[in-house]
Chains A and B, each alone.
Chain A
Amino acid sequence: MEHCNARRNFLRTAGTAGLLTLPIGRAISGVSLLAAIDIDPEAARIIGRSFLEAYPEEWNTRRLLTSVAHVDAFNVNVLIQRDFAAGRTVSVDGWVLSQTEARLCAAAMGRGHRREINP
Chain B
Amino acid sequence: MNLFTILISTIFVKNYVFAQFLGICPFLGVSNKTETATGMGLAVTFVVTLSSVITWVIQKTILDKFGLQYLQTIVFILVIASLVQFVEMFLKKSSPNLYKALGVYLPLITTNCIVLGVAILNIEQKYNIIETIVNSLGASIGFAIALLLMAGIREKFDFADIPKPLQGFPIGLITSGLMAIAFLGFYGIV
A and B physically associate: no
Chain B residues within 8 Å of A, Cβ to Cβ = none
Chain A residues within 8 Å of B, Cβ to Cβ = none
